[in-house]
Amino acid sequence: MVTSRKGAGGKTAAAKKKAGAAGPDLVQLLTPEGDLVEHPDYSIDLSPEEYRGLYRDMVLVRRIDAEGTALQRQGELGLWAPLLGQEAAQVGSGRAQTAEDYAFPTYREHGVAWCRDVDPVNLLGMFRGVNNGGWDPNEKNFHLYTIVIGSQTLHATGYAMGMQRDGREAAVIAYFGDGASSQGDVNEAFVFASVNNAPVVFFCQNNQWAISEPNERQFRVPLYQRAAGFGFPGVRVDGNDVLACLAVTRAALEHSRSGNGPILVEAFTYRMGAHTTTDDPTRYRSSEELEEWKAKDPIMRMRAFLEKNKYADEAYFKDVDTEADTVAADIRARCVALPDPKPISIFDHVYAEPHPLMDEERAEYGAYWESFEGAH
Amino acid sequence: MAESTSKTQQISLSKGLNLGLRRALEDDPKVLLMGEDIGKLGGVFRVTDGLQKDFGEARVMDTPLAESGIVGTAVGLALAGYRPVVEIQFDGFVFPAFDQIVTQVAKMRARALGKVSMPIVIRIPFGGGIGAVEHHSESPEAYFAMTAGLRVVAASNPVEAYWMIQQSIASDDPVVFFEPKRRYWDKAELDPTATPYPLYASRVVRQGTDATVVAYGPMVKTCLEAAKAAEEEGRSLEVIDLRTLSPLDLEPVFASVRKTGRLITVHEASVFMGMGAEIAAKVTEKCFYSLEAPVLRVGAPHTPYPPSRVEEEFLPDLDRVLDAVDRAFAF
């Protein structure tokens, strides 16, 4: 795989068009119709297998996400936060990371988790209510989901400051959304990262909606331009173009890894589904808008690209769909088998060291709960 | 560093913290100090004086002026294996960081089912009595004590400060460390070769037989002075320095109350919903038949901290403590 910010770019793919429709301030390498376009700063040249891999990732991630929604509708999850429409932003940025990099997600980064090899069932635990995260962040360098908006951007910055002190050849990627850009913590993270020259990529998925509030309620200057005021570069990428997301994020991570400090990537995308399964987007946005974005679907354009270039045939697409169903069935089976935690376990991990109140209450509540017939 | 290993020396509370931090920095390369003005200036109370010069800017960091940012990045540094010691410049400035402390620092370990720890110390100068402007004299300890996942301690004198800061830094749990602002310049004799008292333990600092007075932080000295005055009036007060507010170590308090039958709690924070309420409830539960009088609480009125010209009336003092003792004996 070769990615560069400048250079000749791909030669293996079909002839490229000049950039145009996407506008000068939006990095796009693959049009909604599935045609490659050139960009002066970014290019990508992958093998057919790698192109297919990105398509497969996106299809599987969308299928896992759909299973999450289905599980919620059937009462197996208390809530689900769908990523529908954001597959390219998550898979592109996810596949840009090395094993040594570290990701700090929001609660919607199911696609990034997939790329980091995190078991999707781990993500379901929180939404099912059997834990509040529970996985070991250091196992895959993928931090716990963070629900309070924007908090994790500071954690990411602090982690990057640690990497800096340890001389690690890696970078941190901090995920957040357009709504989070209004939070003080996000802006403080920009300040701390900037003055410390911390190796952190701020990856904003601008999906146009913070629950019901559009971009106009959050900012008046395009988000990626905000970086300039903090003293680091900002770039806007077509968030529905997996190739552009991969190329831009790779370059951004390399920028940070190489000692150049933070960088902001705004992935311009769209949340095609609801904010969460409790939300009703028809109350605040038009069906015309949704249709407009459906035409820019990240998976359809990648499929069109693979077909046009004869990188994949009908049998391949069928195989991926079958695999997706298999993965979904496996996740469903393991999700519904997740046991409820024992009530007494709530005392287990509050403190690292012995704590008399924990011991006292564990004994008191334990005895009370045990006093009921059929107690655990 | 000869300074921190020399034998007995006269130190202020600020210096005790300084020496304790110095030793922690020497003992563990993962210890980092973070805060506003803690580098060249040495902190507004000079607690970190000279530490940046000796340990460098990477370990003693002058941070941007943003408290949530300080604590939030400390979380990330802790996840990366560091042990950050954060200075909040004044009690009233901790609230921008409150979200990170309560929502992130306190809960992270439980959320990860014990797979990560948050060995962060958050130092907060607290309390009044220094004639300061608004937001520089508050006692926010109860907010933190009621938050599961945090540990909360308060040092009362220079020697305790020296040991307790080191013990807090060594703890794998997050510790909110309250420093009695008005006592920063009190002096005491430190023997750095002594064996420290355990961190999460309260301590009888004056033996007595007639009534028990429990306090922490700046009020310990006030209560010791009150005990001395009471002695002249023929009353023997036992004074307990609580030291740890979460977890509470009340066994010494129970033992004392079983002996004296009377308890007065003292803190600068408001009586309403203050630490004294929890102590009173527990003592009532555990020592019900030993009590000769209800547990009485001394603290501040339930108002915003007033302009400093009336803080003398607002804050508990020797007379208010003795007045409560009198009332306890009136039952």
> What DSSP element (H or E) covers B326?
helix B318-330
- C-beta atoms surrounding B5 within 10 Å: 11
For residue B323, what pLDDT band results from cuts at 50, 70 and 90? very high
CB proximity under 8 Å: A 173-212 to B: 184-185, 188-189, 191-192, 195
CA-nearest residue of chain A to B99? A151
Largest CA distance in chain A: 75
pLDDT digits (tens, 9 = 90+) for B177-198: 999 999 999 999 999 999 999 9
- What's the one-letter identity of residue A132? N
Q: What was the pLDDT predicted at B5?
A: 52
Q: Domains in chain B and their CATH numbers? A: 7-190 (3.40.50.970), 203-330 (3.40.50.920)
DSSP B198-265: PTT--EEEE--SSEEEEE-TTHHHHHHHHHHHHHHTT--EEEEE--EEETB--HHHHHHHHHHS-EEE
**pLDDT tens sequence across B116-146:** 999 999 999 999 999 999 999 999 999 999 9
Q: Name the percent of chain B lying above pLDDT 70.
A: 98
* Structural domain boundaries, residue A242: 2-315
Q: Which of B69, B74, B82 comes nearest A189 by C-beta? A: B69
Residue A74 tokens read as 């059937």
**Length in residues, chain B:** 331
CA distances from A306 to A35, A96, A110, A234, A314 (A): 10, 20, 24, 30, 10
pLDDT confidence of residue B7: 83
A308-316 long-range Cβ contacts below 8 angstroms, 24+ apart: A308/A14, A308/A34, A308/A35, A309/A13, A309/A14, A309/A48, A309/A51, A311/A48, A311/A51, A311/A52, A312/A48, A312/A52, A312/A55, A316/A52
The Cα B59–Cα B27 span in angstroms is: 13
Mean pLDDT of A148-174: 98
Q: Determine contact: A157 vs chain B, CB below 8 A.
A: yes
Which residues of A fall within a CB distance of 8 Å from B80? 158-159, 161-163, 166
Q: Is A73 part of a structural domain of the chain?
A: yes
Between CA A15 and CA A5 the distance in angstroms is: 20
Q: Closest chain B residue to A133 measured between Cα atoms?
A: B111
Q: Give the closest-approach CA distance of B263 to chain A in angstroms.
A: 22
Averaged over A232-261, what is the pLDDT?
A: 98
> What percent of chain A stands above pLDDT 70?
93
Residues B110, A161: C-beta atoms closer than 8 Å: no
Query: What band does A373 get if pLDDT is binned at 50, 70 and 90?
Result: confident
Record: contact A151-B103, CB cut-off 8 A: yes
- Distance in Å, alpha carbon of A159 to nearest chain B alpha carbon: 4
Q: What is the DSSP letter of A259?
A: I
Establish whether A110 is a catalytic residue.
no
Asked if residue A149 is part of any domain, the answer here is yes
Cβ neighbours for B322, distance < 8 A, ≥ 6 positions apart: B226, B229, B230
DSSP annotation of A64 reads: H
CA of B222: how far to CAs of A89, A324, B249, in Å? 61, 70, 21
Q: How far is A78 from chain B (nearest CA, A)?
A: 17
Residue A39: pLDDT over 70 = yes
Q: Which chain A residues touch B100 with a CB distance below 8 Å?
A: 151, 154, 185
Q: Which of A161, A165, A348 sits opposite B73 (nearest CB)?
A: A161
User: What pLDDT digit, counting tens, does each position of B295-316 carry?
Assistant: 999 999 999 999 999 999 999 9
How many other C-beta atoms lie within 10 A of the C-beta of residue A322?
A: 10
What pLDDT score was predicted for residue A11?
39
Domain count within chain A: 1
Q: How far is A346 from chain B (nearest CA, A)?
A: 8
Does any CB of chain A come closer than 8 Å to the CB of residue B103? yes
Q: Catalytic residue at A271?
A: yes
Is the pLDDT at A288 greater than 60? The verdict is yes
User: Residue A17 has what pLDDT?
Assistant: 52
What is residue B152's three-state secondary structure? strand
Calculated CA dihedral for residues A266, A272, A275, A281, nearest 10 degrees: 130
Q: Do A191 and B58 touch (CB under 8 A)?
A: no
Closest CA to B287 of B204, B226, B212, B220: B212
Question: Residues of A with CB below 8 A from B99's CB?
Answer: 148, 151, 185
Contact with chain B for residue A151, Cβ under 8 A: yes
Residue of chain A minimizing CA distance to B75: A155
Q: Which of A137, A192, A352 sits opposite B73 (nearest CB)?
A: A192
| Intra-chain end-to-end CA distance of chain B, in Å | 56
Residue type, B11: I
Instruction: Please report which residue ranges of chain A form alpha helices under DSSP H.
Output: 48-73, 87-95, 110-115, 120-128, 137-140, 151-166, 184-196, 223-230, 242-255, 287-294, 298-308, 314-336, 356-370
**Taking 60 as the threshold, does the pLDDT of residue A12 lie above it?**
no
What whole-number distance in Å separates Cα of residue B285 and Cα of residue B253?
13
- Are A59 and A114 a contacting pair, CB within 8 Å? no
Inter-residue contact B179 to B13 (CB < 8 Å)? yes
| pLDDT for res A166 | 98
- Tell me which long-range contacts A215-222 makes (C-beta under 8 A, separation of at least 24): A215/A178, A218/A178, A218/A179, A218/A181, A218/A182, A219/A178, A219/A181, A219/A182, A222/A25, A222/A266
Residue A333, pLDDT > 70, answer yes
Q: For the domain that residue A299 is a member of, what is the CATH number?
A: 3.40.50.970
Identify the pLDDT of residue A2.
Answer: 40
Does pTM surpass 0.90? yes
End-to-end alpha carbon distance in chain A: 53
Would the CB atoms of B112 and A166 count as touching at under 8 Å?
no
Whether B58 contacts chain A with CB within 8 A: yes
Active-site residue, A116 included: no
Report residue A247 as tokens: 């190329």
Per-residue confidence at A98, pLDDT binned at 50, 70, 90?
A: very high
Confidence check: pLDDT of B1 > 90: no
Q: Is the pLDDT of residue A208 over 50?
A: yes
Instruction: Tell whether the model's pLDDT for residue B329 goes beyond 50.
Output: yes
Q: How far apart are CA B320 and CA A353, in angstroms?
A: 38
Nearest CA among B12, B17, B11, B48 for reference residue B33:
B48
What is the DSSP track for B17-69?
HHHHHHHHHHH-TTEEEEETT-SSS--TT-TTTTHHHHH-TTTEEE--S-HHH
pLDDT band at A24 (very low <50, low <70, confident <90, very high): low
pLDDT at B6: 59
Q: For an interface test with B, give the residue of A130, A165, A360 to mutate (most B CBs within 10 A).
A: A165
Please state the rounded mean pLDDT for residues A157-176. Answer: 98
Q: Which pLDDT score is estimated for A217?
A: 95
* Active-site choice (A52, A56, A128, A271): A271
Residue A345 lies inside a defined structural domain of this protein: no
Residue A81: φ, ψ to 5°: -110, 100
CA A100/CA A128 separation, integer angstroms? 30
**Catalytic one among A56, A275, A301, A332?**
A275
pLDDT of residue A22: 61
Q: Is residue A336 in some structural domain? A: no
* A33, part of any domain: yes
- Disruptive mutation site among A161, A176, A200, A347 for chain B (greatest number of B CBs within 10 Å): A161
Which residues in chain A have Cβ-Cβ distances shorter than 8 Å to B200?
356
Cα–Cα distances (Å) from B205 to A18, B14, B255, B324, in that order, read 81, 21, 14, 19
Q: Hey, is A195 helix, strand or coil?
A: helix
CB neighbours of A44 closer than 8 A, spacing ≥ 6? Answer: A2, A3, A9, A10, A29, A243, A244, A246, A247
To the nearest whole number, what is the mean pLDDT of chain B?
97
Do residues B16 and B194 lie in contact, with contact meaning Cβ atoms separated by under 8 Å? Answer: no
Contact of B247 with chain A, judged by CB distance below 8 Å, is answered with yes
Per residue in B42-58, pLDDT (tens digit) is 999 999 999 999 999 99
Residues of B in contact with A153 (CB under 8 A): 72
Query: Bridge-partner residues for B318, per DSSP?
Result: none
Residue contacts between A and B (CB atoms, under 8 Å): 141
Contact with chain A for residue B62, Cβ under 8 A = no
Asked if the Cβ–Cβ distance from B110 to A349 is below 8 Å, we say yes
- What is this model's ipTM? 0.95
pLDDT reported for residue A126: 96
User: What mean pLDDT, rounded, does chain A reach?
Assistant: 94
Asked if the structure places residue A141 within a domain, the reply is: yes
Of A162, A348, A352, the CB nearest to B76: A162
Whether residue A100 lies within 8 A of chain B, CB to CB, comes out as no
Is residue A340 assigned to a domain?
Answer: no
Nearest CA in chain B to A144: B112
Nearest CA in chain B to A148: B103
Phi and psi torsions of B83, nearest 5°: -125, 80
Residues 6+ apart with CB under 8 A from A40: A6, A19
Which residues, 6 or more positions from B5, have their beta carbon under 8 angstroms from its beta carbon? B192
